[in-house]
Structure 1
Amino acid sequence: MDAAILVKIPYLNGLDDQRSVEDISNVLDAHERRPIQHAPWSAGAKQPQVSFALAYGNDDIYLKYYVHENSLKAEYSNFNDPVFEDSCVEFFIAFDDDASYYNLEFNCIGTSRAQYGQYKTGRTFIPVNLLKTIRHQTFVKSNVVGDIQWELTLCIPKTIFKFHPALSLEQSKAKINLFKCGDGLPEPHFLCWNRIEAQQPEFHLSSFFKEITFSRQAS
């Protein structure tokens, strides 16, 4: 992937918080899927196949992950639990020129963990009452060991980004990275959308986020 190419996130007209997550999931199926395929710490081992579709509406970011992996783990069910130990997907975003960023992490049943800060340490947890407003849908297509396929659709309200109370997505810019991990799986893995250069697995490196822009809304 060419880091110089600006990624434009499409606006989904006609979708709002009255539409079901299933409706939004179906709409995202028709949009471009981007692979999360960089595995700089894999040492050549076979990795999960993962992709995502990303769009936005008036008040939400819409995100769907498509995952094909060998095993499935969903131990954590409480908000802000260490879901990265489970079968986990992650979305990191920094708005405009903010040096701090949000990390939103979800296990395969939609349990969420979210924080904000400039570095990996000293981060502030997003309150549970806000995390409860994230709508999600999980669909396990195949649950055969060695051939597990699951999907997670997320409707993330702008209010989740509580340190940006005046956030307007349309035509704004951000820097993001997306990940797939499973620290506590039989075969741990660490995949990233935009390549990271580090000696050991580390997602909290905002210098490797990729710039995006939220496209103009349809008139």
Structure 2
Amino acid sequence: MCKRKLFILCLCGIMMSCKSEIHSQEKMLSVKEIEFNGQVDLEQVSRLLEEHTELQAIDLVNWDQFSYRPSVAFRIAHSNNAIWIKYYVKEKNLLASVGDTNGPVARDSCVEFFFDPLGNGDYYNFEFNCIGTVHLAYGPGRGQRQFVDPNTIRNLIDVESSLGSQTFTERTGDFSWEMTIIIPAEILTHNPEIKLKGLKSTANFYKCGDATSQRHYLTWNPVGTEKPDYHRPEFFGKLIFQ
């Protein structure tokens, strides 16, 4: 009995140590403010991000059974209470089967931004397949999501992909694509008064493709779960808005 208790205690210690190690690797990213007067379009956002921000990699493979690692990076900034993001992807398999807002875009070639503006565990999951179809919900966990109204999403979020906007079946080869996104703070419908400037928040950035020939799950900040699970705000990194 004593040996069994000792084994359990050792096992618990190892698990606590691993979890502590994951949290000690927590990344912090300072989100630069880019000043711009007047209405800005996606082409201008793309150019300004290129000129004023650094590339950040989404390259962590946390689950050995899904070892395929496409090349994925992003740039991020904020301006006039809106978040600007540009993704860069190189991969072998392209799939864009979902064209309906709030559809299951994670099945396709997909990039994601999970954002907890207050760092309190309630987060928005912004998901975009490679043709810019948006999936957006809010809540404290995978099983407690509240979808944002599709019309609100279409009216407020601007997104443009170099692959266009038409659905297609899987293509195999060597592909490169880019996506530019404007996310105004108004889309954070559960935080109506929020101001990005000076905000201390948490987030993670992902790449996945659940239904592609080479399933993959890449993250910006490490995720310490046994199986792929992006809905884990305890593993988000820090975002500090200048």
- Aligned counterpart for 1:154 among listed residues 165, 168, 181: 181
Q: Distance in 1 between matches of 2:113 and 2:66?
A: 25
Give the SS at the match of 2:93: coil
**2:34 aligned with 1:7:** no
- Aligned counterpart for 2:100 among listed residues 70, 78, 95: 78
How many Å apart are 1:214 and its aligned residue? 0.4
Partner of 1:23: 44
Q: Root-mean-square deviation (CA), in Å?
A: 2.0
Deviations 1:83-116 (A, max 9, x none): 0000000000111242211101000110000010
Partner of 1:137: 160
Q: Distance in 1 between matches of 2:160 and 2:60?
A: 26
How many Å apart are 1:15 and its aligned residue? 5.6
Percent identity over the alignment is 34
Q: Distance in 2 between matches of 1:205 and 1:15?
A: 37
Partner of 1:192: 219
How many Å apart are 1:5 and its aligned residue? 5.7
**Normalising by the residue count of structure 2, what TM-score does the alignment of the two structures yield?**
0.83
- Letter of the 1:203 counterpart: Y
**Normalising by the residue count of structure 1, what TM-score does the alignment of the two structures yield?**
0.91
After the TM superposition, which residues 13-162 of structure 1 pair with which residues of structure 2 at under 5 Å, given as runs? 13-14=35-36, 18-30=39-51, 31-43=53-65, 45-132=67-154, 133-140=156-163, 145-162=172-189
How many residues are matched? 213
1:6/1:192 CA distance change after superposition, 3 Å? closer
**Does structure 2 retain, via aligned residues, the 8 Å contact 1:42–1:189?**
no
How many Å apart are 1:13 and its aligned residue? 0.8
Partner of 2:236: 209
- Letter of the 2:162 counterpart: F
Q: Distance in 2 between matches of 1:15 and 1:109?
A: 29
**Does structure 2 retain, via aligned residues, the 8 Å contact 1:15–1:57?**
no
Give the SS at the match of 1:10: strand
- Letter of the 1:186 counterpart: S
How many Å apart are 1:45 and its aligned residue? 3.2
Q: Distance in 2 between matches of 1:108 and 1:15?
A: 30
**Which stretches in structure 2 are left out of the alignment for 5+ residues?**
1-21, 164-170
**Does structure 2 retain, via aligned residues, the 8 Å contact 1:12–1:56?**
yes
Q: Distance in 1 between matches of 2:162 and 2:40?
A: 18
1:168/1:160 CA distance change after superposition, 3 Å? same
